Structure 1
Amino acid sequence: MLMPHPAMLRRLVEEYQTLMTPEGDGEAGAGRDNLWAQDLACALCVSTGTREVGRAVETARRLLAASHDPESSAIAG
């Protein structure tokens, strides 16, 4: 399996988690954000070789924890 670059993987996880945090209903960009969340989920799955976004995030965290990128350890937990 190809290994994704830690910086790219970290960005995907951070953006996905940001979109998945509960926010107020009726946001003006909610539809656009939903599509972006779907795109991020797909990118995470492809990057980690998984088919479920939950498993993709877990795998991404594990890969980031194993990398030697100091910034990656902050997202791994």
Structure 2
Amino acid sequence: MLMAHPAVLRDLIEQYEALAALHAADADSARVRQRMEDVAYTLCVSTGTHDVDAALIAARHHLPGARPEDDSLLNGD
């Protein structure tokens, strides 16, 4: 399977996290929710996963400096 470039993955993670914060602040924003779903879909396709949580973990593991034993990747810290 092809994996997206780490810079692309980092950008997608940052976009998703920013959108998630916006969505938490304004849950009624349809535009934010749609963009968040679009980024989640792109993350899933880019990492070969089927849900955004798995996609975020997979993307973080492909970033420079990631270590398999680094559990901070699993909880988003």
Q: How many residues align?
A: 66
Query: Alpha-carbon deviation of 1:23?
Result: 1.3
Letter in 1 for 2:57: E
Mapping of residues 20-31 of structure 1, within 5 Å: 20-21=20-21, 22-24=24-26, 30-31=29-30
The Cα shift of 1:6 comes to 1.0
| Alignment correspondent of 1:73 | none
Structure 2 unaligned regions, length at least 5 = 67-75
Q: Which has the higher contact order (CA 8 A, sep 6+)?
A: 1
User: TM-score w.r.t. structure 2 length?
Assistant: 0.75
**Is 1:60 aligned to 2:59, yes or no?**
yes
Where 1:51 maps in the other structure, the secondary structure is coil
| TM-score with structure 1 setting the length | 0.75
Q: CA RMSD in A?
A: 1.9
Distance 1:42 1:23 in 2: 22
The answer for unaligned runs of 5 or more in structure 1 is 68-75
Runs of 4 or more, structure 1, over 4 Å off, are none
Aligned-residue offset at 1:7: 1.0
Deviation at 1:37, TM superposition (A): 0.3
